[in-house]
Structure 1
């Protein structure tokens, strides 16, 4: 493409080093759709005759079909998807095809192609995330009345509803959904017409191509447009935080699945055995999900590092900007293929979960708050209950089994009305503050999350409706 300036052919090693076909061929349909928008605009502005534009679009659509059929085999010597398609177009319609690239640089062409491609990919990611959140909300409703230990520092803290646990993870993924919408919005602007960096002397109509490709708006500054990759970083940031949330959920389930805890039961179809130990049932899928976080976070750090020292505007470093991004999108797809169905089949053994309450100490905060309601300052109540905890440990007595006389010997302010409060279920049910662990509050969280998720879905459907044909 630059043979007019150079007197030597590109070295074979350089060709292998600089080619990007292995990365960008997947975007062939998006590249063709961007070219169709461009050629329509050229006809609209009079830069191309109507019959020329029709010929080019017709042949571009034929090339798209050749790619779908597998009859069009790209050539590495043409470097990338963009030059392969343009070369094929010229083969098919000669000099007319050679007019396609007027008013366009590969800088704004590639930028347009990637944005077209990413919009469809992100809608697919949304579908997976929406499914995951819905599964968690179903589990939250299913287990709203199931009492399990809640933990801080991985030490028993207070009784909670298992539905509260599922709803907690759902809330994290709801924030991810908001981040995904923001990432989509960052992608959803048209760069076509920015040229190499400074726009064009030709009378291009950027608003025309924006509308033709279904973008919400145009980019504002041609130099910034070809130089930045903030929209990639927004996607990778969403993915990295999402990956952390997946990892935390996986770790929780792995821990509660161990023999020592034993109150989460995982489906056999999502576990593996041991090559030597016949008794083993290993949570390999959850472990792999936990491990994927490293890859996803690495992609974000990779691109941040790549971008930090690049001067305005385009530099060839950016050819590799998509490698980590595309691997991340593939990784997200794999996560969504296994995590929702795995969660849907998780079972909870409430009896085993409640065995952890045997010493009754998980109810200590309830006693302190009971004393507060009887006029004892909280710090004093905390100290008094701390003494009671120590007494129970020293005398090997479960706190929830103490008699009134035993309580009053340690804490004189205790009345008989404390005793009915000291069960894990009663403790969970009484935590009825907004967002709390009671079944009533959990069901409120579920209802509100469903409403918000539906609103996000409507927003994403509006984006989907604006996608052009061929995508």
Structure 2
């Protein structure tokens, strides 16, 4: 590859550190597709002969069939997937293979192939997000009226519905989806034709290759074209936040499945046992989703640090841009699949959740709201209910177990109708403001979400 510039070969350690084929072989499909588009353009423009263009295309098609059926045979001497393809092409068609690299560099070649790979990765992730969202919508609809405790500071705060709680994670996934979609739209400018960094003197048609490869347009600056990895950062940033959202849900599943909570039973399909304790049902799938988020966040940080000190244009540091992306993508895909499966299969204990929701004086705010609606300033109502909570605690009962006379001894303005507000069912039903937890709102939210999915 280096021709006459070097008199000797690389040291073994140099060969090892310089080789990236073990990683970048995964982008062979994109490399072959980009090379076929480039060869076709060279032939159309008369830069190479029509016969050479046809031979190159046939050879590349044969290579694609080989790689698809047998995989890429790695040779560290050939460094990367681009040279593997070119070397195999030369074996198949002879000297004409050497004309493929006319008017391009590995710099714009790898930028193009990698953009195409990331574009496909985004499409895969969006489909996985949609699958996870569908699982959440099904369970949210099923449990639109199932009561559970709502927490702040992991302390019982107000009763909510399980469906409403699950729909909060649906909102996170929708934002994740939009971030990936934004990243896809932003990356879809074709860098092919930028060559090493300055463009080329050959009369190429960049629009032709861009259109053939499904890009929306061309990158505008050749130096930026070969050095830009913002599209990888965009993917990793979206992946990191999506994985954090999955980790939060995984953490809740882990907590809910613990014996002190007892809100869910993990099916066998999403659990493991203990090598020593026969009684154990461990939430390993959820724990691994939680753990994967750490690696994905680390992949984002790794790439940002890799980029932070690079002068323009291309530097070999960028060879290390693919490992973080591939690691994060694989982890995110399996995390989304695992979470979708867990959500679909979790067995919720509605009675246990309702019992915990009723504990801890969770309807105290409802009494304060009733007093405020009666004309008492809310801050004063807050103090009145605080005294009622203290009285209930002193008696060792829940707030709704105090009698009317006990309430009126605290404040005579508390009427009998106020006591009707103290059940958890009444509490969630009253939270009917837009975005609230009332069952009717949950059903409407699920319907709206399904309509939005149909319109995508």
**Is TM (by shorter chain) over 0.5?**
yes
Measure, in 2, the Cα distance between the counterparts of 1:398 and 1:297: 43
CA distance change for structure 1 residues 57 and 358 in 2, over 3 Å: closer, same or farther?
Answer: closer
Match of 2:62 in 1: 62
1:108 aligns with 2:78: no
CA distance change for structure 1 residues 421 and 40 in 2, over 3 Å: closer, same or farther?
Answer: same
Match of 1:86 in 2: 86
Any conservation in 1 of the 2:364–2:422 contact (CA below 8 Å)?
no
SS in 1 for 2:363: helix
For residue 345 of structure 1, report the CA deviation from its aligned partner.
Answer: 0.8
CA deviations 1:339-370 (Å, max 9, x no partner) are 21121011211111122245461010001100
Any conservation in 2 of the 1:432–1:440 contact (CA below 8 Å)?
yes
1:198-209 → structure 2 map (5 Å cutoff): 198-209=198-209
1:349-428 → structure 2 map (5 Å cutoff): 349-359=349-359, 361-428=361-428
Measure, in 2, the Cα distance between the counterparts of 1:92 and 1:348: 61
Match of 1:40 in 2: 40
Measure, in 2, the Cα distance between the counterparts of 1:267 and 1:135: 16
SS in 1 for 2:159: strand
Match of 1:218 in 2: 218
For residue 400 of structure 1, report the CA deviation from its aligned partner.
Answer: 0.6
Match of 1:132 in 2: 132
Match of 1:265 in 2: 265
1:55-454 → structure 2 map (5 Å cutoff): 55-70=55-70, 73-359=73-359, 361-454=361-454
SS in 2 for 1:47: coil
Measure, in 1, the Cα distance between the counterparts of 2:421 and 2:395: 22
The range that moved more, 389-398 or 376-385, is 389-398
SS in 1 for 2:287: helix
Unpaired runs of 5+ residues, structure 1, are 457-471
The range that moved more, 267-276 or 103-112, is 267-276
CA deviations 1:355-392 (Å, max 9, x no partner) are 22454610100011001100011111111111111111
Any conservation in 2 of the 1:233–1:300 contact (CA below 8 Å)?
yes
Any conservation in 1 of the 2:358–2:423 contact (CA below 8 Å)?
no
Any conservation in 1 of the 2:188–2:215 contact (CA below 8 Å)?
yes
Measure, in 2, the Cα distance between the counterparts of 1:93 and 1:279: 65
SS in 1 for 2:157: strand
Any conservation in 2 of the 1:63–1:72 contact (CA below 8 Å)?
no
For residue 166 of structure 1, report the CA deviation from its aligned partner.
Answer: 0.9
Any conservation in 2 of the 1:190–1:210 contact (CA below 8 Å)?
yes
For residue 278 of structure 1, report the CA deviation from its aligned partner.
Answer: 1.5
SS in 2 for 1:376: coil
Superposed CA RMSD? 1.3
For residue 408 of structure 1, report the CA deviation from its aligned partner.
Answer: 0.8
Match of 1:464 in 2: none
For residue 454 of structure 1, report the CA deviation from its aligned partner.
Answer: 3.3
Measure, in 2, the Cα distance between the counterparts of 1:71 and 1:251: 39
Any conservation in 2 of the 1:174–1:453 contact (CA below 8 Å)?
no
Any conservation in 1 of the 2:371–2:381 contact (CA below 8 Å)?
yes
CA deviations 1:236-255 (Å, max 9, x no partner) are 01110011101100111111
Match of 1:459 in 2: none
How many equivalent residue pairs?
456
Measure, in 1, the Cα distance between the counterparts of 2:71 and 2:348: 53
Measure, in 2, the Cα distance between the counterparts of 1:209 and 1:114: 15
SS in 2 for 1:215: coil
Any conservation in 2 of the 1:372–1:381 contact (CA below 8 Å)?
yes
Q: How does the TM-score come out when normalised to structure 1?
A: 0.94
Measure, in 1, the Cα distance between the counterparts of 2:397 and 2:57: 83
For residue 150 of structure 1, report the CA deviation from its aligned partner.
Answer: 0.4
Measure, in 2, the Cα distance between the counterparts of 1:206 and 1:81: 23
SS in 2 for 1:159: strand
Unpaired runs of 5+ residues, structure 2, are none
CA deviations 1:299-335 (Å, max 9, x no partner) are 0000011111101111111000111110111112221
SS in 2 for 1:362: coil
Measure, in 2, the Cα distance between the counterparts of 1:347 and 1:218: 51
